[in-house]
Amino acid sequence: MPEAAICFDTSVLRYFSQAGAMGILEARYRGRACTSEETRAELAYQRDHGVVGLDAALEALDRWISCLVIDDPTEVAEFTRLKAFFSRQPHLGRGEAAAIVLARRLGAIVAVDERSARTHAARAGLQVVGVIGILRAMAADGDLTWSQAEGIFARMVASGFRAPAVTLRASLEKLAGRD
């Protein structure tokens, strides 16, 4: 049985790119990864306004991550509603809304880190994963050693990723306590 498609939000791609880890995403998700034109626009805007380390993410959109358009009227209406809801919160909006709409269309996993977007996606019945979950899965599956995963995580934190704790393992423990 083929593995599920995965729809990436801007922040997940941003932090893997800034950590120099787009190659490990490609190794795991090539052939089943997608994102939206909204995410492409957000990444380009961030790069053009001084955010460093995004070239690898933008190059991935041309090489191995399918960049999809939301043009079905029902999806456009859902995207517009979600975008309005998320835009009331700092740092949320188009990318999160598009990732959720596309994941619903494709029956895909949605890769998003922002708590309210994760909560909304889970309530909508979507499987949700974020940076921490992707790194955990890669280490658990042997795609990375725990040491490599911790190194990537540390580079993400250094680039601005807001983690629940300083290390990947401590973050996992903290998140497990929320269940």
User: What does the pLDDT look like over 4-41, one tens digit per residue?
Assistant: 899 999 999 999 999 999 999 999 999 999 999 999 99
Q: First CA to last CA across the chain, in angstroms?
A: 30
Using a cut of 0.85, tell me whether the model's pTM lies above it. yes
Q: What is the pLDDT of residue 116?
A: 84
Better-scored residue on pLDDT, 123 or 163 = 123
Q: What is the mean pLDDT of residues 62-84?
A: 93
- Could you tell me the domains of the chain? 6-176 (3.40.50.1010)
Better-scored residue on pLDDT, 163 or 56 = 56
Percentage of the chain surpassing pLDDT 90?
Answer: 72
Check whether 175 has a pLDDT greater than 90: no
CA distance 79 to 4: 22
Tell me how far CA of residue 28 lies from CA of 76, 116, 142, in angstroms: 30, 26, 11
Check whether 2 has a pLDDT greater than 70: no
Check whether 92 has a pLDDT greater than 80: no
Better-scored residue on pLDDT, 178 or 164 = 164
Looking from the CA of 179 toward its CB, the CA atoms found within 13 Å total: 5
DSSP string, 37-100: HHHHHHHHHHHHTT--S-HHHHHHHHHTSEEE---SHHHHHHHHHHHHHHTTSTT-SHHHHHHH
